[in-house]
Amino acid sequence: MPESYCGIDFGTTNSAVSIFDDKKNIAQVLFEKDRETIPTAIFFPEENTYKPIFGAAAIKEYIAGGNGRFMRSIKRILGTDLMNLKTEINEIYLSYEDIIEYFIKHLKTVAEKQNGVALEQVVLGRPVHFQDYAPEADKRAESFLKHIAIKAGFKQIHFQYEPLAAAYAHEQKLEKEKLAFVIDIGGGTSDFSVIRLGAEHKKQIDRAKDILANSGVRIGGNDFDRDLAMKCYMPELGYGTMLKPNPYNGRILPVPFGPYMTLSEWSSINTLYTYKAKKEIQKIYEESSEPQKVRILWETVQKELGHTLLNDVEISKIALSKQELISSRLEFLESKPSIAIKKQRFEESIKKDTQKIVDTMVECLKDAEISFTEIELVILTGGSTEIPYIKKELCRLFSNAEISESGKFSSVSLGLGYEAARVYG
């Protein structure tokens, strides 16, 4: 009989679920087209708001021009003031709690179909910090997520840091003890753990002595998308240009910074689609000294194509991991602007955020009283660890360590499954 517990990696960009099969083996739940992960995306069709579409199907429906409301990276609202607000979706007001509950419940339903029994107990992954330097917001975020899990149908909820989950997954294959440093650079956060792993260690019920330090920072793949968008895309939409001289005092001001930053962040794009925000951008367009550029911003917002634009940015980010130069043509816009981007420009755009990640790693090792050279195993997880600029920096810092990249997109989920077996099994 399959066990009635699971591990859920509710991620900013992608999510995954692990369960134990009837042979007591850990297994990944399979989503669309037998994928082990599902994009953390949700689309509310205009004709039936209460029956949303999830994952890759949601992205496809939105990109194809479906009528409705699209949302992505909803995990990033945890720990922010948005947790207590409602948003208008197809003339219906839904709370962000309701929206996340829809998605968690979908993960649970798909997992139950594959498991064969109802899932009542769960280990949920969480970043080391939902928000930087905000312990009270951090507590509220975990409590908020726990409340959602209960509403979704779970009766018992346990949390585990995502980098520790990745460590436990890798530990299953280790024969000798290793002093490991886990680097989990996901869509919304970068999290780190220093931990002793090995065959003897995994038999222990209490792992507190093995865990030397945990740390994290609210920087991830979404921030790299934003960095690339602001550096290479937004200037084509008028960012950095000037307004016309003020008719009363002759002052010349730059176009406002805010709309461009909002358009570059997955979790905030929808705030530009209110009547008030659209009117403000209309005014910027009318007062711009380079209206041919700002018109692209105006069109993107008026037609609610922000997610389509950022999807193109994300595709460019991935392509720049393999190519020195790419050309992105925005076919969905009337003028079909073409943007040429060099890898060097992308790397320049993420340099500052990469340094913040490195600084947090240094802090984590300092807390553990361990040096870079003492680390024997570095476990990389999360899609952003594949960015060459970041990987090169990590390899330079840990020159004496073995680098493991196996299960980069599944290790957190699998580790949460093993933790579920320890807690509930």
Q: What is the pTM of this model?
A: 0.94
Q: Which residues neighbour 30 within 8 Å (Cβ) at sequence distance 6 or greater?
A: 36, 114
Q: Which residues neighbour 144 within 8 Å (Cβ) at sequence distance 6 or greater?
A: 78, 83, 97
The CATH-assigned architecture of domain 5-175+405-424 is: 2-Layer Sandwich (3.30)
Task: Record the tokens describing residue 108, joined without a space.
Answer: 């649970």
Nearest 5°: phi and psi at 384? -70, -15
CA neighbor of 344 nearest in space, from 319, 325, 328, 329: 325
Q: Which residues neighbour 399 within 8 Å (Cβ) at sequence distance 6 or greater?
A: 372, 373
Q: Is the pLDDT of residue 200 over 90?
A: no
Give burial (CB, 10 Å; 0-12/13-18/19+) of 33. Answer: exposed
- At CA 257, angle to CA 241 and CA 188, rounded to 5? 130
**CB 167 within 8 Å of CB 343:** no
CA neighbor of 17 nearest in space, from 1, 5, 2, 3: 5
The reported pLDDT for the residue numbered 1 is 59
Residue 334 has a CB neighbour count (10 Å cut-off) of 10
Q: Is the pLDDT of residue 61 over 80?
A: yes
Q: Is the pLDDT of residue 36 over 80?
A: yes
Question: How is residue 202 annotated by DSSP?
Answer: G
| Model confidence band, residue 20 (pLDDT cutoffs 50, 70, 90) | confident
Q: Is the pLDDT of residue 291 over 70?
A: yes
| Model confidence band, residue 425 (pLDDT cutoffs 50, 70, 90) | confident
Q: Which residues face 242 on adjacent strands?
A: 254
Residue 82 has a CB neighbour count (10 Å cut-off) of 17
Task: Record the tokens describing residue 68, joined without a space.
Answer: 């409705």
Delimit the domains of the chain by residue range: 5-175+405-424, 222-347
* Residue positions counted in the chain: 425
Q: Is the pLDDT of residue 205 over 90?
A: no
State the Cα–Cα distance between residues 368 and 171, nearest whole angstrom.
20
State the Cα–Cα distance between residues 79 and 422, nearest whole angstrom.
28
State the Cα–Cα distance between residues 282 and 288, nearest whole angstrom.
10
| Model confidence band, residue 390 (pLDDT cutoffs 50, 70, 90) | very high
SS3 331: coil
The reported pLDDT for the residue numbered 3 is 77
Q: pLDDT over 70 for what percent of the chain?
A: 99
- Output b/e per residue, 273-302; b: 16+ Cβ within 10 A: beeebeebbeebbebbeeeebbbbbbbbbe
Q: Which residues neighbour 231 within 8 Å (Cβ) at sequence distance 6 or greater?
A: 345, 346, 348, 349
Q: Is the pLDDT of residue 247 over 90?
A: no
Given CA atoms 225, 230, 232, 238 in this order, what sign does their dihedral have?
Answer: positive
Q: Average pLDDT, stretch 209-227? A: 97
- Output b/e per residue, 360-377; b: 16+ Cβ within 10 A: bbeebbeebebebeebbb
Q: Average pLDDT, stretch 308-326? A: 96
Q: Average pLDDT, stretch 164-192? A: 95
| Model confidence band, residue 142 (pLDDT cutoffs 50, 70, 90) | very high
pLDDT tens by residue, 99-115: 999 999 999 999 999 98
Nearest 5°: phi and psi at 334? -60, -45
pLDDT tens by residue, 358-385: 999 999 999 999 999 999 999 999 999 9
The reported pLDDT for the residue numbered 22 is 67
CA neighbor of 419 nearest in space, from 214, 149, 165: 165
